[in-house]
Structure 1
């Protein structure tokens, strides 16, 4: 049963990435898999539940990737660099799923027309706030700044860069990554006179 669910998610991701959100339907997924719509609805009672599963799967895999690849036993500046690198590397290595997930996040709406995927809790900023707190209060490598605001700015930069990563060459992505790392190193670094 779990295999069927994963096949449905994988096919839905492929269709979303190639056809776009507007053309996506449960029927198209069923046809591509050679099953009835009932099979899809058995696992995902409505389109929204399938879309949620795709987004949750992407973010779960991203968290696992970052957990396995981030360097945490170093300075705050290096942890921040690692956070940025692992985020954008994951996107580059998972382009199809990133395109599908972005399409869902930008387009999926509830019956009232409100975005379904709106992080009002601020959870996405918490890892950055922790890195900034470490750099300001523990290792002393970061200057004083509003951690929530800096996390919001950096997360926006990463999300925007992720869109570029999807279409860039490896060389362009390397340059983009270095520029973002340098920008936020300079933005957070404590000056020698502080």
Structure 2
């Protein structure tokens, strides 16, 4: 393959990635604003500023698009959290960074979580729920668990079951998120973040 053809292929790939991302963002905004039940391809296309045909070119129907929306929601969240955790030094600082960055990302991307909760409540089959759980909770729990294990190896965290506590920490974060999605004015994310940091710093301390 000639260098010009390779370069053209790279440009096409970048353009396609940009277009897919544009459509996914349009779907997120549509679901957040109108609900999954009313997020037709036509409405998503209008929100994304493309034709319905462009969506059909990049995605094999609405179901595949929604799957990509779920993937994007968690990929973006997890990347943001990981970047902040990786910059922190030591397990205690990493645990604080995990909690604080979780809430910071929520505050900056409310539409993501409104859309997520609506999608979350729309899965009907047990198989779909398990797939969603594998996409959503497993990576989060493993990330928190790795921080907790690090803290135990450093001697700054007491002995406890890391899987159980990782589940509890993620559950506390998601519980606040749900209440905030349902009633934004009733939940102070920054205050909740600070309380959870204090709570879990206390309960993990050796």
Q: TM-score range by the shorter chain?
A: 0.7 to 0.9
Residue 21 (1) aligns with residue 21 (2): no
Which one of 6, 9, 14 corresponds to residue 24 of structure 2? 9
The whole-number CA distance in structure 2 between the counterparts of 1:143 and 1:62 is: 29
The whole-number CA distance in structure 2 between the counterparts of 1:174 and 1:32 is: 31
Residue 144 (1) aligns with residue 147 (2): no
Aligned CA distance change for structure 1 residues 35 and 123 (closer, same or farther; 3 Å): closer
The CA deviation string for residues 63-95 of structure 1, in whole angstroms up to 9 with x for no partner, is 332233235542322211111011111111111
The whole-number CA distance in structure 2 between the counterparts of 1:144 and 1:32 is: 51
Higher helix proportion (structure 1 or 2): 2
Q: Secondary structure at the match of 1:70?
A: helix
Unaligned runs of 5+ in 1: none
Runs of 4+ in 1 over 6 A off after TM superposition: none
Unaligned runs of 5+ in 2: 1-15
Question: 78-87 vs 101-110, which deviates more?
Answer: 101-110
CA contact (8 A) 2:41 2:62 kept: yes
CA apart distance, 1:181:
0.9
Aligned CA distance change for structure 1 residues 132 and 113 (closer, same or farther; 3 Å): closer
The whole-number CA distance in structure 2 between the counterparts of 1:136 and 1:113 is: 35
Aligned to 2:91: 76
Q: TM-score, normalised by structure 2?
A: 0.79
CA contact (8 A) 1:58 1:101 kept: yes
Aligned to 1:184: 200
Aligned to 1:43: 58
Q: Secondary structure at the match of 1:22?
A: helix
The whole-number CA distance in structure 1 between the counterparts of 2:72 and 2:199 is: 30
Aligned to 1:133: 149
Number of residue-to-residue matches in the alignment: 188
Aligned to 1:61: 76
CA contact (8 A) 1:26 1:37 kept: yes
Question: 29-38 vs 41-50, which deviates more?
Answer: 29-38
The whole-number CA distance in structure 2 between the counterparts of 1:118 and 1:68 is: 23
Aligned to 2:172: 157
Taking only aligned residues, the RMSD between alpha carbons, in angstroms, comes to 2.6
CA contact (8 A) 1:88 1:165 kept: no
